[in-house]
Structure 1
């Protein structure tokens, strides 16, 4: 796979709007996402339809993200440790799994100081459960690291390589790797947080739930959670209600297929926070971000309402967007350079540091 120094993406030379331009962007996007290499569009029936829908969705997202990718860069004071396998099969070669890799981003100041006090964030990228790898969020995560965090950015197998349960199992494997190897890095093993955007926020919240409820862990087919202690979570433009009757579930099925939600009968009560928050399951404080032009704004507001109704600790940051401006879905992740995004990044630090011990 092509690597780009300091995560700086070169512009495409072809004229925008032409077929050559589109093909070049899609080819470039392999840096941050799977496109067609894991899809089998010649399979009959539902699998063929799902593969075609995933391919279309990935290409649309890649075209949209290209302009943003041209702004990516690693801050000069952040050290990048890329493509660490968290399972033995992690890698890019034939027979290896790109979805089983992670990156670590460490401020150079922490390396120089050599301590183990730096708070940590674990990031789970979004992308409708089928688009993107960790490179999609590298710009966000290195800028988060630049504000004083060690950041571990996870890959997981995108649909249709696996289903929701499989993605949660991948994340558990990554958490176990981090728990076992964190002393290799100049960061705190005791002050760990989790973050995610869009589908990644859903996976992050479910991971919090699994870590704090043995019943939830068993319901998702996880015999025992990693046991990593998470002190809080920052969730951006998340999708949270994925019950069978929810509008978001129906929308997701159009892309990833109903098979993505297979094997969830025992987990039915854990698919909507409005249900499981009433059970007294303890979760750490949450930092929630959305905006008035976020197409899933209502998901964050519904989560905040359920948290408030059940007396849970959270912050809600809902940006009011004037008619002359656009922020949109996952804006702090996709456009870190905006003043509003900088407010979110600094807000994450202000939220997290007082929770560290």
Structure 2
């Protein structure tokens, strides 16, 4: 099959996912107690996929109160989604007393991984400049990513702490740092996608070509296991489920964290808890009891790490 045909099949796959997402959102309850400011450009002359959303709890005076910060990077196979994809999830997090930012970033096949990372860092530099004016406390920051967004979040952690990777990806380090990160059903090793099943695995070689754009140096740093070597990262929490179609990627990720002696804890759901707990279930179905348990565990993890940091 030609590369063009694989790209066409991937596009059709994500169009079907988008249709299912829209249908789900029509019947899904919305979180109460939060509001959103939408579609703020984070660079001059921004494209439609270079904008961000800000989420806040209701009834908070942001002129006098600074809230702990959560930054969310959406998934979608590097090919689908925008800053609205995780709206309900971000509204729920904000309703618990957090200032939340979610960004869009340009996607395959129009751009590669380098440009996606450039967009993520551009949105973070926007937050660096304007966040404190809007109620974000950038001394308490949690980075969250799900699926392919987990991959981008993992790379962002590594790049923030590596001048070599900053040069490779053409970005500047942030003035603020991340207290911790949460990776949800992360697809952390795009170079190993062919080991799995489904359209993304069948098209793995084409996706990797699109991500790396024949840049050997990028190809050698595209996977989290490649990027994280000899870098001390903040504490991580890994969320996963055995019913996730990418559970095998979560297992690879856990092995990488252990091999590199990185600080992490887990919230893993076993198959016995039910077949509905599939890929990124706690993001797409924030209202489920299992999702609430998972998301409160995530927030408690952040609170503990942040409290420990500020005691020092």
TM-score when scaled to structure 1?
0.78
Q: Secondary structure at the match of 1:70?
A: helix
After TM superposition, give the deviation of residue 225 of structure 1 in Å: 2.7
In the alignment, does 2:112 pair up with 1:163?
yes
Asked which structure has the greater CA Rg, the reply is 1
Give 2:88's aligned residue: 139
Task: Write the distance in 2 (CA, Å) between the matches of 1:137 and 1:65.
Answer: 10
After TM superposition, give the deviation of residue 142 of structure 1 in Å: 0.7
Q: CA RMSD in A?
A: 2.3
Give 1:126's aligned residue: 75
Q: Secondary structure at the match of 2:108?
A: coil
Structure 2, unmatched stretches of 5+, are none
TM-score when scaled to structure 2?
0.88
Decide whether the 8 Å contact of 1:57 with 1:255 is kept in 2.
no
Give 2:32's aligned residue: 76
Q: 1:263 to 1:168 in 2, by over 3 A?
A: farther
Q: Secondary structure at the match of 1:230?
A: coil
After TM superposition, give the deviation of residue 252 of structure 1 in Å: 5.0
Q: 1:102 to 1:166 in 2, by over 3 A?
A: same
Give 1:115's aligned residue: 65
Give the paired residue count.
303
Task: Write the distance in 2 (CA, Å) between the matches of 1:275 and 1:170.
Answer: 21
Give 1:239's aligned residue: 187
Task: Write the distance in 1 (CA, Å) between the matches of 2:194 and 2:96.
Answer: 37
Q: Deviations over 1:156-177 (max 9, x none)?
A: 0121221111111111110110
Decide whether the 8 Å contact of 2:190 with 2:208 is kept in 1.
no
Give 2:299's aligned residue: 349
After TM superposition, give the deviation of residue 319 of structure 1 in Å: 0.1
Q: 1:76 to 1:55 in 2, by over 3 A?
A: same
After TM superposition, give the deviation of residue 227 of structure 1 in Å: 3.8
After TM superposition, give the deviation of residue 241 of structure 1 in Å: 1.4
After TM superposition, give the deviation of residue 342 of structure 1 in Å: 0.3
Structure 1, unmatched stretches of 5+, are 1-44, 91-96
Task: Write the distance in 2 (CA, Å) between the matches of 1:76 and 1:354.
Answer: 25
Q: 1:174 to 1:113 in 2, by over 3 A?
A: closer
Decide whether the 8 Å contact of 1:80 with 1:106 is kept in 2.
yes
